[in-house]
Amino acid sequence: MTKAAVFGTGSWGTTFAMLLAGAGTETTLWGRRAEIVEAIDRRHENPDYLPGTVLPDALRATTDPAEALDGADFVVLAVPSQTLRGNLTAWKPHLPPEAVLVSLMKGVELGTTKRMSEVICEVAEVPQERVAVVSGPNLVGEIVLGQPAATVVACPDERVAERLQEACHLPWFRAYTNPDVVGVELGGAVKNVIALAVGVAAGMGLGDNVGAMLMTRGLAEISRLGAALGADPHTFAGLAGMGDLVATCTSPLSRNRTFGENLGKGMTLEEVIAATKQTAEGVKSCESVLELARKHDVEMPITEVVVAVVHDGMPPSEAGMLLMSRSPKPERYGV
Ligand SMILES: NC(=O)c1ccc[n+]([C@@H]2O[C@H](COP(=O)([O-])OP(=O)(O)OC[C@H]3O[C@@H](n4cnc5c(N)ncnc54)[C@H](O)[C@@H]3O)[C@@H](O)[C@H]2O)c1
Ligand SMILES: O=P(O)(O)OC[C@H](O)CO
């Protein structure tokens, strides 16, 4: 039987563990907080992150990383992007030598501008072929209700991607494989930044033309960055690109969109942070995405104003004027 260890008992870690267990994979969750671990292991619930959801009886949980990792074929990582390096460094001594490491995270590391799979390869000292990424339009609030969804499993080794696909595929959760790890990761990380922008516009009371403009020009930014980093352009028309961008930018379930919406309504950054109980990756990753773009000489005007609004106190109305007053250009440039 295939075995998986999932690190992170937050909303997506717990939900993905449910999917794995539902697909017949023997799954153990690792969590920091003993009370959540006990609730999952004994009472089959995660009241903090998934209130009202009944978890599978077969799903185990522990606070001991060595216990979770014992015999694991897949080590699934679902902690905040900015803590991954420290977390994985601590878990490294217990990693099974042949295990495949799987990133569920949608962020870019501050300081290094590395994608999560790059951080994993570096810290765990494993080749790219032993690292997979799962990303797509996967809003937890819908998946836990059993609503149909699809995702992308990316790995340069097709057989590894197919094994992981099989380990999480369910009649109502379709996993597609894709060898383009760079494109899949960029799609997931940058759509959070665009969702912040769409949220700000919605919070200001602006309509669907503005939302569509930001999503479409946001996809152009993602594609330009992807081209500079060697991604397959087709990935951005797929589930991990356009699919996740649309879901995140339009859903009230998205933490990133909601964060932006609150800023657009006039709440201060401190008030919005206090109101945000879960990880909104774009808030930190907008800075690392912009730094990555500058390193590669890629123009990302929406990302620039998101950084200015979220981190430098620029009023949303000024950000909107800056974007609208850019010089006229062809729709397609710089790719
Ligand atoms: N929730 C979703 O709908 C969803 C869907 C797809 C992908 N993702 C991505 O999955 C990743 C995890 O998101 P989530 O929704 O589970 O977030 P979450 O905020 O719900 O949970 C984060 C988990 O990490 C733990 N954590 C926080 N700081 C930590 C630290 N210093 N060390 C170890 N653990 C720590 C928390 O206790 C919690 O268990 C993010 O990159 C997110 O973008 C989320
Ligand atoms: O709630 P968000 O904004 O982190 O988005 C969740 C997922 O990434 C959607 O696919």
As given in the structure block, the two tokens for residue 223 are 């594609």
Same domain, 320 and 203: yes
Mutate which of 198, 253, 278, 286 to test ligand 2's pocket (most atoms within 8 Å of Cβ)?
Answer: 253
- With a 6 Å cutoff on the Cβ, whether 290 touches ligand 1 is no
Number of domains forming the structure of the chain: 2
Tell me which residue has its CA closest to atom 21 in ligand 1: 10
How close are the terminal C-alpha atoms of the chain, in Å?
A: 45
pLDDT in tens, the chain (335 residues): 999 999 999 999 999 999 999 999 999 999 999 999 999 999 999 999 999 999 999 999 999 999 999 999 999 999 999 999 999 999 999 999 999 999 999 999 999 999 999 999 999 999 999 999 999 999 999 999 999 999 999 999 999 999 999 999 999 999 999 999 999 999 999 999 999 999 999 999 999 999 999 999 999 999 999 999 999 999 999 999 999 999 999 999 999 999 999 999 999 999 999 999 999 999 999 999 999 999 999 999 999 999 999 999 999 999 999 999 999 999 998 76
> Per residue in 257-288, pLDDT tens?
999 999 999 999 999 999 999 999 999 999 99
Active site annotation includes 191: yes
Distances 227 to 11, 133, 206, 333 between C-alpha atoms, Å: 32, 19, 31, 12
User: Are 124 and 169 contained in the same domain?
Assistant: yes
What predicted TM-score, i.e. pTM, was given to this entire model? Answer: 0.98
Residue type, 27: T
| ipTM confidence score | 0.98
Domain hosting residue 57, numbered range: 3-180
| CATH number of the domain to which 7 belongs | 3.40.50.720
* In-domain check, residue 335: no
Give yes or no: residues 72 and 83 share one domain.
yes
Domain boundary among 145, 180, 215: 180
Is residue 43 located within the same domain as residue 149?
A: yes
Is 193 part of any domain?
Answer: yes
DSSP letter (8 states) at residue 329: -
R_g (Cα) of the chain, nearest Å = 19
- Whether residue 107 sits in one domain with residue 34: yes
Among 92, 191, 265, 284, the active-site one is 191
Of all helices (H) and strands (E), which one includes residue 150? strand 149-154
Query: Would 334 be classed as within a structural domain?
Result: no
Q: Are residues 193 and 144 part of one domain? A: no
Contacts of 154 (CB under 8 A, 6+ apart): 132, 133, 134, 135, 161, 177, 178, 179, 180, 181, 183, 184, 185, 240
In a domain, 330, yes or no: no
Structure tokens at 191: 């759509």
Q: Are residues 174 and 33 in the same domain?
A: yes
| pLDDT tens digits, one per residue of 307-324 | 999 999 999 999 999 999
Q: Are residues 149 and 291 in the same domain?
A: no
Ligand nearest to the CA of 193: 2
Amino acid code (one letter) for 122:
E
Determine whether the annotation assigns residue 261 to a binding site.
no
Q: How far does the centroid of ligand 2 lie from the alpha carbon of residue 247, in Å?
A: 8
49 pocket-lining for ligand 1 (C-beta < 6 Å): yes
* 251 and 118 share one domain: no
H or E segment and range at residue 89: helix 84-91
245 alpha-carbon distance from chain centroid: 11
Residue 169 lies in a domain: yes
- Residue at 202 is within a domain: yes
Specify the pairing of strand 26-30 against strand 3-7.
parallel
Q: Say yes or no: CB of residue 104 within 6 Å of ligand 1.
A: yes
The reply to whether 209 falls in a domain is yes
